[in-house]
Amino acid sequence: MESPVVLPSATVSIIQSPKEQASQIAFEEVLSMTRRAVEEAGGLEGIVKNHDEVILKPNLVGCNPNLWKT
């Protein structure tokens, strides 16, 4: 029987935009929010080495505010 794979712990940072809909967020704001999230999670120094390729995938979530009205 194989030993289970043990993954390192993860740090998550959540940044909320004041915009109601994800479609209202401009690229520059997504870029700024992503940079802020990385900084608040402790940065990438010590994790990313020279010539490493890094992909960051921001999750943009929006909802229809009309769904929540009673």
Q: How many residues appear in the chain?
A: 70
Per-residue model confidence as pLDDT tens for the chain (70 residues): 888 988 778 888 889 888 888 888 888 998 999 999 999 988 988 888 999 998 888 887 766 666 555 5
pLDDT of residue 38: 92
Best CA proximity match to 33, nearest among 64, 63, 59: 59
Round to whole Å and give the CA distance between 46 and 49.
7
Distances (CA, A) of 21 to 16, 53, 57: 11, 31, 18
CB 44 within 8 A of CB 54: yes
Q: What is the pTM of this model?
A: 0.67
